[in-house]
């Protein structure tokens, strides 16, 4: 989780990444048997968590989003940083590599494929195969 890493680098005491062993387990306290160590299997979107408290004593729950669900973001495709864009390109590259393996041929129109993948990912739509 990139956000967790940034908080830790800033000196914030953040829990280890965990996933839920049952629905709603991410809201249970540390030590609950329903909280399982490590990220969600397959790094499923909305499935991995970490927690921390701010100086005022408020508790916060981080949730990893690897692919947004439809309707969860604005229709414009934007990236807030070079790092976010780079990560999106890396995910598109990995998916495109699998696409080329499936088709058995090099895709000369890969920029169009990448663009479609990245827009669909941000919009929470079905990703191209």
Quick one: which of 124, 123, 121 has its CA closest to 92?
Answer: 121
Give the model confidence (pLDDT) of 13-62 as tens digits: 999 998 887 666 566 665 567 788 899 888 888 889 998 998 888 889 89
pTM, whole model, 2 decimals? 0.50
The Cα 100–Cα 43 span in angstroms is: 23
In this prediction, residue 28 carries a pLDDT of: 61
In this prediction, residue 29 carries a pLDDT of: 60
Task: Give the pLDDT band of residue 1 (cuts 50, 70, 90).
Answer: confident
Q: How many Cα neighbours within 13 Å face the side chain of 41?
A: 3
In this prediction, residue 81 carries a pLDDT of: 85
Give the model confidence (pLDDT) of 82-124 as tens digits: 888 889 999 999 999 999 999 999 999 999 999 999 988 888 7
């Amino acid at each position: 989780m990139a956000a967790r890493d940034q908080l830790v680098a800033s000196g914030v005491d953040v829990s280890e990444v965990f996933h839920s062993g049952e629905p709603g387990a991410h809201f249970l306290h540390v030590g609950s048997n329903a909280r399982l160590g490590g990220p969600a299997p397959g790094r499923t979107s909305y499935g991995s968590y970490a927690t921390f408290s701010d100086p005022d004593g408020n508790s916060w729950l981080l949730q990893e989003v690897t692919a947004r669900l439809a309707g969860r973001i604005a229709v414009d495709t934007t990236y807030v940083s070079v790092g976010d864009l780079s990560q999106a390109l890396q995910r598109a590259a990995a998916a495109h590599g699998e696409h080329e393996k499936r088709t058995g041929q090099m895709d000369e129109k890969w920029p169009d494929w990448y663009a479609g993948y990245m827009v669909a990912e941000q919009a929470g739509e079905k990703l191209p195969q």
